[in-house]
Structure 1
Amino acid sequence: MTTRKTCIFAALLFVLFSCCTLVQSSIIGIDLGSDYLKVGRVQSNRGVQVVHNEQSKRKTPSVLAFPPDGSVLFGDLAIASASKFPNRTAIHPLDYLTRYEEHGSLLKEQGFSHGAQMYALFLKQALQIANATQHSVAAGLVIPPWLNTEQRQNVLFACEIADISSAALIHSNTACAIKYLLDWRPEQPQVILFIDIGVESASATIVSVAYQSKQLVPQSYHLQVKSHSWDKTLGGKYIDKRLAEWILQKAAAQGQLGAHSPLSIMNRAKCQTRLLQEAKRIKEILSINQETVASLENMVDSMDIQVPIYRQEVESLLVDPESIYRLVNHSLTLANLQKEQVDVIVPFGGTSRIPLIQQLLKQSLKEVNKSIHADEAAVYGATFFAALSSPNIRSRALDVKEWQTFDIWIQVFDSNSSLIWNAPLVCIGEAIPTRKEFILHPKNDFDIHLYAFRNESMVYLLENTQLSSNGSSWLGNATFHVNFTDSCEYSISYVRMAFGVNIQGFISPPELEWICTESNNLTETFNLPSNSSVIVSQQVEPERRQSKDIASKDGVLFPFRNRSTLEQYKLELQQRQKKDAMVRRYSDMCNELESRILLYRQQLTEQGHEWNVYTCEKERQKILQNLEQLEHWLYSQTSHLETSLIQQKQQQILDWIRPIQERVETYHKIQNAVEQLNSTLIFAKQVLQAGNHSKSVELLQSEVNRWEIWLNNKWNEYIQKAPCENSRAKVLSINQCDTATQTILNRISELYKATKPTSIAIHGDSPDNDTHPEIQTIWPVQSEDDNSTQQTIAMETNHDEL
């Protein structure tokens, strides 16, 4: 019995812990593009949903601005600030991971030591949109396939700085393929070409998808990436730049620039920002319309630019057809496929909406499929990909195989730095995740070197660029030092080494196992099959095997950073956010002070307002003069003030206005009390008119007459006093009216104390039962038998209750 209770208690604890974990964890997807930020979230009973921002929009501009006041602006507010302070604006978040040296001045000015901190600040904005700042967060992040190992590590490093507990990186095209597979569920295996033409670059990915659903087999989804290829010169920002330069050339030809040259205008930061914004707007308009006009007012020296633009005129300028063909052909070559074998073409990304690009894809391959949302498909796939690794989410069975985009080789050196092993570990085009094992026979301490690169031919196919002869694209390296073990009793010892490559392209630290045998019955083997390792495990006794955990140096092939560096970067980001919070609080307090000045001034000067009625001219002028002086003081401040001083000024305003507010409040209370007394007097008269009384009504009649005369005299005297005089409230008080009302009600109760009448017919309004609950039991109710305005007093309670 005790065991059963223990099991039940443990089960309840497990369920409670699971529910708490589910509530406290958030699973989100983040598509932090160069142009817009989209955030998805797994919601209870609704699946994956795109989260709306504060403006109820599904995407937010990926722009951060740092005005001189010290605040941090994001989204539309940052865009508005960018035209004023272009050098204080952060755009294209990936630039701070790939080319953060170019933004050193802005990073230093904001107190940041690394570009990953700026990227983490973008991620913080995504967490706020998803309302996931107070819980543990598992996030799927969309990245382009061309990121090298160091840049991928910086993305994960930025996630740690932003307090994202678990991050999974997924390529943009792969995320869209997941969305396509889950939506369409193709009955037959398909080969699909996904083309992402975004702001930074263009990429093409070939994916094979399959959906299995039979009666005896549960539903399962299979996705395998066949190839990746990209072009960093085909992005939308390069198209915007070419269009902006073309607009300046046309304006110069029409004499709209005066003595200025197009180059001199383009070199001005503010002019360049406005030109690029206008070029982006023109590009979006021409995706739908045939013509438009580029309009830039007061561009330079009070000169305006007005240039008519036709789609047919600029299409060939904006898009190079050869670049599109080369991108598609290289992806087919890497996948070892012909274009006839491609079943579906799915373009997405903002720039893919250009009609010429869709026409080129149709001419080179076949009709494009527009079934997925060009802006939101990637964030849907990333959110679902993040949910796959969560134990708290029950998701559909999905098997994803990525395509390795760089070679990783392994070298082993002995203690004398002599090379004893050199072989590829993972090659370009292999399916990942994967696991590789091999066995070697070291004789002393040894070092393991891992390095990643792309050779010349692969760089041309992958990146659509040329390298120098015999050159290579070096992506990073990592080194492990292994101390040779001397605990084996036998003279022959082997080392089994295993490496794991995850779907994000990262290599886990190697697992090492010493195997001691009496005879040399093992041979050095690279990429040993899994069944061979099982044979080794069976041949060697357990006590003759040792495992050893080793840690690497800070290598770019591993998602690893020094903890002290991480804490330092977190602290710098927190300090910047605290500064922003202080600036926002100061700004809110100043805005509140300004709003109160404007509001109180309006109420004091508005004709017919109660503040204008219950104040004298002298009092109003004094308060208005004080408000004007305070407003002048507020507008004259050029630097930040202490918040305590702002609070003191707010309290000062309240001290000026409080007497008026108390006076008005007192008037309303007295007016309500007088109205209640009037209603009670009317009620008493109706009781007297009803008759059928067992006692004399002289006492009640005298009380009614006395209080009616008293009220008329007091009220006339009250209203004759000046509204601003404090002595006015002494003439007629709330307590006096309440006393009169209670006296009359007591007389009515005494009138019916001897007998219990059935009903008394009366007419008129009733006193307020909420203010006087003691009369609720005798108040008249509508008679069911009489449709006239006649009312009856319900005397259903005992006499003692009256």
Structure 2
Amino acid sequence: MQSNKKICIGIDLGTTYSCVGVIQHGNVEIIANEEGSRTTPSMVAFHADHDPLIGNSAKNEAALNPENTVFDSKRLIGRCFDDPNVQEDMKSWPFTVVSDAGRPRIKATHQGGVRYFPPEAISSMVLARMKETAEAYLGTTVTNAVITVPAYFSNAQRVATKDAAVSAGLNVLQMINEPTAAAIAYGYEKVEGKKNVLIYDLGGGTFDVSVLTIVNGNFDVRSTSGNTHLGGEDFDSRLVGYLREEFRRQFPAKDLSTNKRALSRLRTAAEKAKRELSFASQASVIIDSLFESIDWKVDITRARFEALCSDLFSKTLEPVQKALRDAKLDKSQIDEVVLVGGSTRIPKVQKLLQDFFNGKRLNKSVNPDEAVAYGAAIQAAILGGDNSLPLLQDLRLTDVTPFSLGIEVKTDDMAIVVDRNTTIPVQKNQTFVTQFDNQTVVAFNVYEGEHAKTTENNLLGHFMIQGVPPAPAGYEMFDVTFDIDKNGILNVAAVNKSTKKQNNITIVLNWK
């Protein structure tokens, strides 16, 4: 293969499935993998004596090799081991997750020994497979890419995702939010005039809501909200729990929880039943020799499934309301509610959302599985300087900060300097004072998050100013400037008004 750096691809790195697209011959092409599927399972299966399997081949043998078949790595990436969400997920995973200096590591038997993989290593393997898929289709080496991430990913999660991409041999031109990419897919070639659009993106592991105003090719994100731990995997887990209890009820002496292979097969069957219940009122779970040679069949109704997940479905409305409030729009002012993500196929999810918008017809014009990669491919072409399509030259994207940014004051108090959903680029200034008598050194700790206490937020970085003249608390003053450029790079600078001494820190936020 010969290198062609002008070709830029867009990759949707999903929790359950990933997808890659490119603009070719004037069209957006979603690229099928070697099995002919346009989406690829975000799964890696390790073996003692050969290279890992990635994608469909990994999923096909999940039941045979459950302890070494890894999925949901996106739910671990950029998180701490003691994160409550990580601890909860670990209860349902057949593979083992351990702590390494407070960070999660996935245990697997690989090529003759036990290895411990960071989550970004798993994501890197999946991204490398998407890169290979694109290269096989295009017939040339590809390095430049736009990668999508959930809008509500923290800085740590975004940095870890970018590291995974770099390890996969990709040059990340930009990281954009998944609902923003989906909005581009929806609005490209379709929107005339001005429209307020709400993107409802419910995927396999994450949920995002973004409100945008689209005017003549300008995509202005007004607000974003979401839950990085809510999606189809949670619905699967509820169904697995129900099926496990149903098996125990029928066979009181049998305990499925002792057999990882049986649980893995049960989870695969539960996912299949969930998909069937999106178009049928009843589904059958049939598994030959599930446990101790028992052939098992059980029926589940759509009503039962909806009851099992009703609280999870309802939780999606909270970010919708928050995004509308932050955008300063009433739900009646939303012109289109666009569905994205495979989990939006669930009828009850659609019914709840339609009822919330007073019976408004939901927009299903984009492919829920491919829209994010489709939009990422468009943005990749723009960044790659593709001038072949007039519409690409007119498209402009303006994003927002998904989290508030601020400085720690006193002990553990968060002083917000930049509010969440502020359009970037932006510069904000604020004055701070010394907190203690005779303070000669002042530390500036920079955080992201919405909690009043910094211990509940994410520390992004810190710096100090020394040589402050001793004085009573509150006497010495400091001008602090937060400057975020269009690439999501934050520069925080502080200057002591009396001495003019200053210091600063630069943080790559990776929001875009």
Determine if the TM-score, normalized by the shorter chain, exceeds 0.5.
Answer: yes
Which structure exhibits the higher relative contact order, with contacts defined as CA atoms closer than 8 Å and separated by 6 or more residues?
2
Q: Distance in 2 between matches of 1:352 and 1:163?
A: 33
Question: 2:295 matched to 1:304?
Answer: yes
Q: Partner of 1:206 in structure 2? A: 211
Whichever structure has more helix as a proportion of its residues is 1
Question: 2:270 matched to 1:279?
Answer: yes
Is the 1:107–1:115 contact (alpha carbons within 8 Å) kept by the matching residues of 2?
no
Matches within 5 A, 1:638-677: none
Aligned with 1:396: secondary structure? helix
Question: Could you list the runs of 5+ residues in structure 1 that have no partner in the other structure?
Answer: 1-19, 212-220, 413-417, 458-469, 485-494, 515-522, 525-547, 560-802
Distance 1:402 1:76, change over 3 A: same
State the one-letter code of the partner of 1:246.
Y
Question: 2:350 matched to 1:370?
Answer: no
Q: Partner of 2:403 in structure 1? A: 406
Displacement of 1:151 in angstroms is 1.3
Q: Distance in 1 between matches of 2:355 and 2:262?
A: 39
Question: 2:422 matched to 1:430?
Answer: yes
Distance 1:397 1:452, change over 3 A: farther
Aligned with 1:67: secondary structure? coil
Distance 1:96 1:503, change over 3 A: farther
Larger radius of gyration: 1
Distance 1:124 1:393, change over 3 A: farther
Matches within 5 A, 1:428-467: 428-436=420-428, 449-456=444-451
Q: Partner of 2:242 in structure 1? A: 246
State the one-letter code of the partner of 1:128.
E
Matches within 5 A, 1:527-538: none
Displacement of 1:435 in angstroms is 3.7
Matches within 5 A, 1:171-186: 171-186=177-192
Is the 1:25–1:135 contact (alpha carbons within 8 Å) kept by the matching residues of 2?
no
Q: Partner of 1:38 in structure 2? A: 19
State the one-letter code of the partner of 2:457.
W
Displacement of 1:240 in angstroms is 0.7
Displacement of 1:447 in angstroms is 6.6
Q: Partner of 2:105 in structure 1? A: 104
The one of 300, 304, 308 equivalent to 1:313 is: 304
Is the 1:227–1:403 contact (alpha carbons within 8 Å) kept by the matching residues of 2?
yes
Q: Distance in 1 between matches of 2:65 and 2:146?
A: 33
Q: Partner of 2:87 in structure 1? A: none
Question: 2:160 matched to 1:163?
Answer: no
Matches within 5 A, 1:483-502: 500-502=483-485
Question: 2:336 matched to 1:344?
Answer: yes
Q: Deviations over 1:20-39 (max 9, x none)?
A: 99x33330111111111100
Distance 1:363 1:95, change over 3 A: closer
Aligned with 1:507: secondary structure? strand
Question: Could you list the runs of 5+ residues in structure 2 that have no partner in the other structure?
Answer: 82-96, 98-103, 468-477
Q: Distance in 1 between matches of 2:230 and 2:503?
A: 45
Q: Distance in 1 between matches of 2:211 and 2:459?
A: 27
Displacement of 1:232 in angstroms is 4.8
Whichever structure has more strand as a proportion of its residues is 2
Aligned with 2:161: secondary structure? helix
Question: 2:361 matched to 1:356?
Answer: no
Matches within 5 A, 1:593-742: none
Is the 2:155–2:460 contact (alpha carbons within 8 Å) kept by the matching residues of 1?
no
Q: Deviations over 1:448-477 (max 9, x none)?
A: 7341232348xxxxxxxxxxxx67631113
Displacement of 1:551 in angstroms is 6.9
Distance 1:306 1:247, change over 3 A: same
Q: Deviations over 1:741-790 (max 9, x none)?
A: xxxxxxxxxxxxxxxxxxxxxxxxxxxxxxxxxxxxxxxxxxxxxxxxxx
State the one-letter code of the partner of 1:298.
S
Q: Distance in 2 between matches of 1:308 and 1:138?
A: 48
Matches within 5 A, 1:107-126: 111=115, 114-126=118-130
Displacement of 1:483 in angstroms is 8.8
Q: Deviations over 1:488-527 (max 9, x none)?
A: xxxxxxx9986542456442576x999xxxxxxxx89xxx
Question: 2:32 matched to 1:52?
Answer: yes
Q: Distance in 2 between matches of 1:128 and 1:169?
A: 20
Q: Work out the percentage of aligned pairs sharing the same amino acid.
A: 24
Is the 2:405–2:416 contact (alpha carbons within 8 Å) kept by the matching residues of 1?
yes
Q: Please identify, of 390-399 and 370-379, the stretch whose mean Cα deviation from structure 2 is larger.
A: 390-399
Q: Distance in 2 between matches of 1:410 and 1:267?
A: 49
Distance 1:325 1:151, change over 3 A: closer
The alignment covers a number of residue pairs equal to 461
* TM-score between both structures, scaled by the size of structure 2: 0.79
Displacement of 1:237 in angstroms is 0.9
Displacement of 1:291 in angstroms is 1.8
Distance 1:37 1:106, change over 3 A: same
Is the 1:156–1:167 contact (alpha carbons within 8 Å) kept by the matching residues of 2?
no
Q: Distance in 1 between matches of 2:106 and 2:408?
A: 40
